[in-house]
Structure 1
Amino acid sequence: MHIKRLLAGATALTIASVAYPSLADEYNANHFFAERHSLVRGPYVEFAEKVKEATNGEIDFRVFSGGSLIPANASLQGVRDGVAQVTYHAGTYTPAELPVENLIGNMAFYNTDPFVMAMASTEFSMTNPAALDEWKKNGVVFGGGYSTSEYYMICNKPVETLADVKGKRMRMAGGAWSRFAEYVGAVPVSIPSSEMYTGLDTGSLDCAVTPGDSIDSFSLSDVINSMNTLAIGNYYAGFLWGYNKSLWEGLTPELRSILFDQMAYFLAKGRVEFSADVDKAIENAKAEGMAIYEPDDALKAALDEFVASDEAALIAAAKERGVENPEAILTEFKAVVDRWDGLLEGVDRTDVDALAALARTEIYDKLDPATYGVD
């Protein structure tokens, strides 16, 4: 009798588990920026809270920031292998694994509007066949993109003219940025953003080429004294959210729809807050004595000349990495960028809801949550 009661209880428990799923295990969400950064505060910390609430706890992300779970150069492998179930990844760290993404990411000077590039890079990476094949090969489901604000030369010594740039050791994001440094006679140094402070402090760097918010978010205000306002592209290669494929395929279409909705919102909110952080950091630094230099005509002309000539280098590098028909990929990417340039014309760049609505209607609502990212 006792055994029968145990079996009956076990059966009832099994039935109850099917009818009423228990709360999911906690999943790992990884970002190598500090928690105070705009791409972590909203798109990871607040995003995790909203997803948990919207899914009634079925998706519960534990956020690791500052590289505490996975370092910057291992985030693609980490999400593929399930160390994290979702992560941010900068494509510059894995050019061999992501040649298509690095191809479009090195088109950083084609349009430097970060709102346009955040939306365009997201749409392209979720719809282009070559990009989708690349994610699949890497065991990742692309959830959404991003774009930094424009890169500036933030320095520990005055850099105003083309002559000033020559010989300066500049932290660059690799790819087109490093080629530009060489073009103007500077010395490119490829290090993670987390190492900019140490480089500037010890003198192994003269400048960090990085968005203006880095003055605060990476505490560079302690080790710099000037900024040159030449806009040296912006960075958007990789993904803001890349999901472990096994996790994604194990979710119901309803849960994926919730993630789509939240990613559309935080794609917009993260971008708005990024711009606000840039403005605040620069104003605070100016108030504390940071000198602001406008580039001289020779420096501006050098950037224009470089941009005009660099597309051939992009195409050649992509072909060396096995990308088929990179010219057609760039043509399609430019068309997506131009489309978003038109869609965002006149849109208030501080209106999160309006920007999120565009991300939903123009990107996420066009995806099928039952099939996207699923073999």
Structure 2
Amino acid sequence: MPIRAYAQRFFIATLFVIGATAATPTFARTISYATGYPPNSIGSNSALAYAEALKALSNGDLSVKVFPMSLLSFSEAAPGIRDGMADSGFVLFSYFPSEFPNTNLISELTMLLELDDVAPSHAGLAYVGAMSEYLFHHCPECVTEFAAQNQVFTGASASAPYMMLCNEKVASLADIKGKRLRSAGPQWARWAQAVGGTPVTISVSDAYEALNQGVLDCSISSSVDLDIFRLSEVVSDVTAGVPGGVFGGTGVNNFNREVWRELTEREREQVLRASATFGAIISWDYQVGATKELEAAPEQGIKVHEPAEGLQQASQRFIVEDMKTIARNYQSRSGVNNAEQSIKAFQTILSKWVKLVKDVSSPEELAEIYWRETYSKVDVSEYGL
């Protein structure tokens, strides 16, 4: 079903959630939304679904103008929203480590999913719920660092699990020794070193040429990148199951704080309701796309492998030890003095969310769980002000 169609169906059925209270007369307002995603991509299409959802919830009082890959790039998003170049937008926290240290700490914990009993198809969905709950309700330091950047966090998103997309078979510790692996974040770079590989830091948009020319042996990516970045043309082998984790360090709809303050409490609630759906749609569609590409890989001549037992065991050991490394790094480099306690608290929340999304079978159902369990519990009379 097209994104717009199921967004409309979902909201017609659930407007009662926040529409039961009497509304005070308001003037129609258009909110600008900037994203680094190109037009007709999962990211921009889900932003359009968010715009439709917010318009429906507010009875037209709030509308959203989506600017895909034009108003602000990913590297410009945080300062651009801070300075009012856009009212809201998609922020990749890892692009701004000094601005969001407490938030990036949590963003770096995604490989904890590999220690929990979660199906790969639902890993990113669980992380979105856990990340949102933690930032909304358990991390005043995170709220403060957003405020310092004149921003308000209103929801998260996540990718499908990361695996190795390679130009030769790399499925064992012997195979991976000395291989050059593109890492999408510091945790995956550390993993590459721990299992005998060499991490390489380049953008996913450059992975095609690097794999094609032999500069890279593998890209640690979601399988959806076989399609989005045409990596299916230069990848011959995929090893699923390692290193695991998802890319979960995103503010899917960060708001300029001044704009947030200008909204009524009811409008803030409507934004949060629509943002819950936004996070559900984009994360669901990433998983659907990743599953489709992995299933289609053999038809394109790509061999799909399971990791050898030794590589799996080494990966599990790394994840446990890396939690200690993350805590030390954020304490020494970023001054996050409660890093160890934050990791333990988040791990508990993540395990809860693995259970909450275990049987989810649609983006509508997922959005409702996000709303019921955490977004609806945000006190809009105080949050972000």
| TM-score of the pair, normalised by structure 1 | 0.87
CA distance in 2, matches of 1:203, 1:79: 39
Q: What amino acid sits opposite 2:276 in the alignment?
A: A
Q: 2:350 aligns with which of 337, 341, 363?
A: 337
Q: Which amino acid aligns with 1:163?
A: A
Check 1:343–1:97 CA distance in 2 against 1; reply closer, same or farther (3 A cut): same
- Structure 1: 5+ residue stretches without partners: 1-18
Rounded Cα–Cα distance in structure 2 between residues aligned with 1:64 and 1:166: 43
CA distance in 2: counterparts of 1:52 and 1:308, whole angstroms: 45
Change in 2 beyond 3 A, CA 1:33/1:155:
farther
Q: How does 1:1-375 map to 2 (within 5 A)?
A: 23-24=28-29, 26-42=30-46, 44-65=47-68, 67-112=69-114, 113-127=123-137, 128-232=139-243, 233-320=245-332, 321-345=334-358, 347-348=359-360, 350-374=361-385
Of 28-37 and 146-155, deviating more is 28-37
Task: Report the secondary structure of 2:178's partner residue.
Answer: coil
Letter in 2 for 1:30: A
Deviates more, 1:184-193 or 1:32-41: 32-41
Q: Is the 8 A contact 2:242 2:315 kept in 1?
A: no
Matched residue type, 1:144:
G
Larger radius of gyration: 1
Residues of 2 paired with 1:74 and 1:21: CA distance? 32
Whichever residue aligns with residue 335 of structure 2, its letter is G
Cα distance in 1 between the residues matched to 2:182 and 2:225: 13
How far apart are residue 253 of structure 1 and its match?
1.3
Counterpart code for 1:231: V
Distance, in Å, in 1 between the alignment partners of 2:209 and 2:70 is: 18
Contact 1:101 1:238 in 2 (8 A): no
Change (3 A) 1:296 1:20: closer
Q: Which runs of 5+ in 2 are unaligned?
A: 1-23, 115-122
Change (3 A) 1:167 1:158: same
User: What is the percentage of aligned positions where both structures have the same residue?
Assistant: 28
Amino acid in structure 2 at the alignment position of 1:80: R
**Which residue identity is paired with 2:131?**
S
Instruction: Give the drift of 1:22.
Output: 5.2
Shift of 1:303: 0.6
For the residue of structure 1 that corresponds to 2:113, the secondary structure is coil
What SS does the corresponding residue of 2:383 show, helix, strand or coil? coil
Give the secondary-structure state (helix, strand or coil) at the position aligned to 2:111: coil
Distance in 2, Cα, partners of 1:178 & 1:139: 31
Q: Bigger shift: 174-183 or 48-57?
A: 48-57
- Aligned residue for 1:194, secondary structure, equals helix
Matched AA of 2:339: P
Partners of 2:368 and 2:305 in 1: CA distance: 38
Which amino acid in 2 is paired with 1:280?
K
2:297 and 2:304 in contact (8 A); partners too: no
Asked if the contact 1:38–1:277 (Cα under 8 Å) also holds between the matched residues in 2, the reply is no
Contact kept, 8 Å, 1:114 with 1:234, in 2: the verdict is yes
